[in-house]
Homo-oligomer: A and B are copies of this chain.
Amino acid sequence: MKNDTQNAPIGVFDSGIGGLTVVKELIRNLPGEDIIYLGDTARVPYGTKSRRTVIAYSHSNTEFLISKGVKLLVVACNTASSVSIPSLRSEFDIPVIGVIEPGAKKAVSVTKTEKIGIIGTPSTINSGAYKSAIESLNPNIEVISKACPLFVPLADEGWIEGQITESIAEKYLSPFKETGIDVLVLGCTHYPLLKNTIQKIMGDQITLVDSAQETAALIKDILIEKNLLNDKGTQSDREFYLTDVSDTFLSVAGRFLGEKINKIEMVDIVGTTSLPSP
């Protein structure tokens, strides 16, 4: 029975395809693990939706992944992590890992000025989740937050560098320059794609914290600690499910994952809203 759990897949969900940046880091850190990814592309984005709605969507995503037998759940979406984790942990029995805590922990360990910047979607920033997580680790740290709504569509459009992207980044990020922060947390799974531009605008003296990297590292620690590392020794398997499949998503998914996706399946979990034939 124990071996069944040990060699079960890791489940990852995101509102869309941004969470593939977390999968990319999981593959890098844990090449022997099977991964099942669910992107809720029929209801993306979560970042502009209410707390109540995001929690409901997170539960239905989790139920789907649990039905696939996952041993650990990764909420690879900052918005869902910021509002849904307590509710998911109380309802489901497997370990539930979000992207907020690992990013917050890393930022706290790195800062010397005790001033940390956070960027994310409006709902992640409004939730105050990073601020709370950081202050619970060290109440002396000052947190300065800023929502950057255009970064997600820029990453989706593939405009990850160049004059327009730099102008937008300058507009969002220049208020940080007078604050004395020495760490900036990329609090959205899309933002690692814009890392070069963000670093260029902020300057090399600012450390960027990539929540996707920190989350993957934490999951490796947890699997080792719980003796749950996959040891079957065969080629690892990855399955990708989306709640809606459109050309737009397929064309950008590879950019987020950093490798080609061979197979995507569509799954209908959007309630019983009756879907007429295409």
Interface of chain A residues 108 through 136 with chain B (CB within 8 A): 122-123, 126
Q: Given B50, B56, B272, which contacts A246 in the complex, CB threshold below 8 Å? A: B50
Interface of chain A residues 37 through 77 with chain B (CB within 8 A): 41-44, 48-53, 55-57, 59-60
Q: Within 8 Å of chain B (Cβ to Cβ): is A174? A: no
Is A48 touching B171 in the complex (CB atoms < 8 A)? Answer: no
Chain A 154-166, CB-CB to B under 8 Å as 1, else 0, gives 1011010001100
Known contacts A150-B150, A163-B167, A246-B123; is A275 also within 8 Å of B52 by CB? Answer: yes
Interface of chain A residues 128 through 182 with chain B (CB within 8 A): 149-150, 152-154, 156-157, 159, 163-164, 167-168, 171
- Closest B residue to A248 using CB positions: B48
Is B273 touching A57 in the complex (CB atoms < 8 A)? Answer: yes
Q: Within 8 Å of chain B (Cβ to Cβ): is A204? A: no
Complex-state Cα separation, A43 to B50, whole angstroms: 12
Interface size for chain A: under 10, 10 to 19, 20 to 34, or 35 or more residues? 35 or more
Point out the residues of chain B lying under 8 angstroms from A223, CB to CB. Answer: none
Q: Given B150, B244, B272, which contacts A153 in the complex, CB threshold below 8 Å? A: B150
Q: Given B53, B271, B272, B275, which contacts A244 in the complex, CB threshold below 8 Å? A: B53
Q: Given B246, B272, B276, B277, which contacts A48 in the complex, CB threshold below 8 Å? A: B246
Residues of A within 8 A of B (CB): 41-44, 48-53, 55-57, 59-60, 87, 122-123, 126, 149-150, 152-154, 156-157, 159, 163-164, 167-168, 171, 244-249, 270-278
Question: Could you jot down 12 A-B contacts, CB within 8 Å?
Answer: A48-B246, A52-B277, A55-B278, A56-B273, A59-B274, A87-B276, A123-B246, A123-B248, A149-B156, A150-B157, A152-B153, A271-B271
